[in-house]
Structure 1
Amino acid sequence: MFPPEFDYYRANGVEEAFDLLENHADADPVVLAGGHGLLPDLKTGAAAPGVAIDIGDIDGLRGIDAAPDGGLRVGALTTHAALASSDAAATHAPVLAEAAGEVGDVQVRNRGTVGGNLAEADPSADLPAAAVAADATLVVRGRDGEREIPADEFFAGDGDTALGDRELLTEIRVSGAENPDDDGRTGGAYAKKTHPATGYALVGVAASLAVRDGTVTDPRLAASGVADAPVRLTAVEDAIAGTAEGELVGEDADSDALAAAAERAGETLDPADARSDVAASGEFRLHLLGSYAERALAAAFDRATDRRAPRPAGCADSEVTCDE
């Protein structure tokens, strides 16, 4: 199908983008970044704006910077490929880096943007769950200033977020350790059952955790694909928090401990709220959820305890073998 007619404007800066949003407020304007979500919607008729405002040339919204406290800043126009191949992201926000490497295909990763993936809030997108698991903060700007929104509070449903009509998502922040002397080891991972045609997640589970003084702390798990917004798997978090490292590895380890925790993944979600569409039923997605929660949790734990190497940067975009 051909997209509907619309007026196109290119913003050269954030303030100019605000001007365009205000001046064309009656034309149902949309913001264009990488375009891998919006352009297909235009072709199918799912989106029919009167105005498209292209922010792709605003260089100030790109880049990945490591903070002195061990945190990370990711500009909203950073591509998935750049995030997936970033050493800083692999070190300070590994779950985000790994999820970025699983987005779509090579073309989508090279063109699509981190901010666009988050702002579009597709239920089967990879980065929303990863942002929740990373305890990320999404920074949005409008005429009235800047707001910081926890990822937990940003996603409200299918295509629905806390972003205002005249606001732009400008960056993603992940905080470092509150205590600079913290000697805890951290790990993150993303496990995904991919739809073979679209590359979207039928089920994707993002996990992050730390191991301090031989104990699992600060576990965070979130799932994509199973509901209209990312789902925190709090029952799994509660089950694994406080577990001694020796219970998971070593001679006295319980080989079923991770599996038992992951089996509780479905407790967080009412089966009636499980997402069903042409790709998969809600029942099938819930059936997969525990298995992928276990995979993500095991990989995150192994990385925190140096039993599994971080995924090679950018391996999704190359011939590097990513099997672990």
Structure 2
Amino acid sequence: MQVPAPIEYERAVSVEHAIGLLERLGEEARLIAGGHSLLPMMKLRLANPEYLVDINDLHAELGYIRITATQVRIGAMTRHRELLESDELAAVCPIFRDAERVIADPPVRNRGTLGGALCQADPSEDLSSVCTTLDASCVIRGPEGERTVSMDDFHLGPYETVVGHAEMLTEVRIPVRPRGSSAYAKVDRRAGDWAVAAAGAALWVDERGTIADARVGLAAVGPNTTGIPEVSAALRGRPPSDEAWSLAGAIAAQACRPVTDSRGTADYKRHLAGELTRRTLRAAWERVREGGAA
């Protein structure tokens, strides 16, 4: 039977309290919310924190979805289930509902959080790909105050982020732009499993119907969830078409860096990255034409 190493436990009652606990307890302290990623790693002794700071009571402070005409703000303690069920979020960012429909199972979705998903920094993590696709920014708070970093800079490598000692992710901010929509798709071995490969796409058009901008975020095909600026550069100024989606798919397949493992060969994953890029861009374009509906 696998069990974690002995730990000390504290329960935070506010963001400032959590930061104070992290500062006092030292670098061997870890935050825990849903715990569906951290606890299995602790059982396998892949993670060995000396202290756990439980932040579930912070849901009242950090569990929210706030939408304006120019920005979506989501608190880090917002649960997967809340992201899935929010019709307001699906209306402006349908990619969230696409992704949440294929994430794990109800127990995980009821407890797991957006902040926990991003801070786990798993290369196969769906919501990291979603936030990369949407050009999100991450708000990080610590003893010295608050700072904001882009999703492109948030992950330093597998299971590593820019969140430092005595800091915590508090909010994700997503710009809202007119005449755009998004979509997400993944291939997994069984329902709710980690992806063999996954792709998110967001697309915006100008008044003439030409592609003003496009973004693609891949998961499970490299050391990080990956944005592909070459796709954006190739599609800007083109008319939406199957030829444009095929070009983007070819670029995505070439840009990713999958490895052969029990989920499939590198060539197979590269093929999936290209195909899923094509599918999600096409789906995003269909939603733009239909008015952005989920």
Partner Cα separation in structure 1 for residue 121 and residue 135 of structure 2: 17
Partner Cα separation in structure 2 for residue 129 and residue 199 of structure 1: 15
Q: Post-superposition shift, 1:260? A: 3.3
Q: SS of the residue aligned with 2:190? A: coil
Deviations 1:138-176 (A, max 9, x none): 111001000111111111211011111211000111123
Q: Post-superposition shift, 1:308? A: 8.2
1:261 maps onto 2:248 in alignment: yes
Q: SS of the residue aligned with 2:46? A: coil
1:76 maps onto 2:51 in alignment: no
Partner AA of 1:6 in structure 2: I
Contact residue 95 and residue 133 of structure 1 kept, 8 A:
no
Deviations 1:159-205 (A, max 9, x none): 0111112110001111233xxxxxx4211000101232761111110
- Structure 2's unaligned 5+ residue stretches are none
1:191 maps onto 2:175 in alignment: no
Contact residue 9 and residue 54 of structure 2 kept, 8 A:
yes
- Structure 1's unaligned 5+ residue stretches are 178-183, 249-254, 311-324
Partner Cα separation in structure 2 for residue 98 and residue 79 of structure 1: 15
Contact residue 20 and residue 143 of structure 2 kept, 8 A:
no
What TM-score do you get using the length of structure 1 for normalisation?
A: 0.85
Q: 1:165 to 1:280 in 2, by over 3 A?
A: farther
**Deviation beyond 3 Å, 4+ runs, structure 1:** 275-278
Alignment-derived partner of residue 278 in structure 1:
262
1:234 maps onto 2:235 in alignment: no
Partner Cα separation in structure 1 for residue 18 and residue 220 of structure 2: 32
RMSD: 1.8
Q: SS of the residue aligned with 2:56? A: coil
Q: SS of the residue aligned with 1:207? A: strand
Correspondence for 2:275 among 257, 272, 291: 291
Contact residue 234 and residue 268 of structure 1 kept, 8 A:
no
Q: Post-superposition shift, 1:94? A: 2.3
Alignment-derived partner of residue 173 in structure 1:
173
Q: Post-superposition shift, 1:309? A: 4.7
Q: Post-superposition shift, 1:102? A: 2.3
Q: Post-superposition shift, 1:107? A: 1.6
Partner Cα separation in structure 2 for residue 277 and residue 31 of structure 1: 31
Contact residue 228 and residue 275 of structure 1 kept, 8 A:
no
Q: SS of the residue aligned with 2:77? A: coil
Q: 1:307 to 1:186 in 2, by over 3 A?
A: closer
Q: Post-superposition shift, 1:13? A: 0.8
Partner Cα separation in structure 2 for residue 52 and residue 276 of structure 1: 35
The number of equivalent residue pairs is: 291
Partner Cα separation in structure 1 for residue 25 and residue 83 of structure 2: 33
Partner Cα separation in structure 1 for residue 264 and residue 46 of structure 2: 21
Q: Post-superposition shift, 1:108? A: 1.1
Partner Cα separation in structure 2 for residue 24 and residue 209 of structure 1: 45
Alignment-derived partner of residue 204 in structure 1:
198
Q: Post-superposition shift, 1:305? A: 1.0
Q: Post-superposition shift, 1:92? A: 2.4
Larger mean Cα displacement after TM superposition, 72-81 or 43-52: 43-52
Deviations 1:98-141 (A, max 9, x none): 22332212221111101000011001010111101101111110
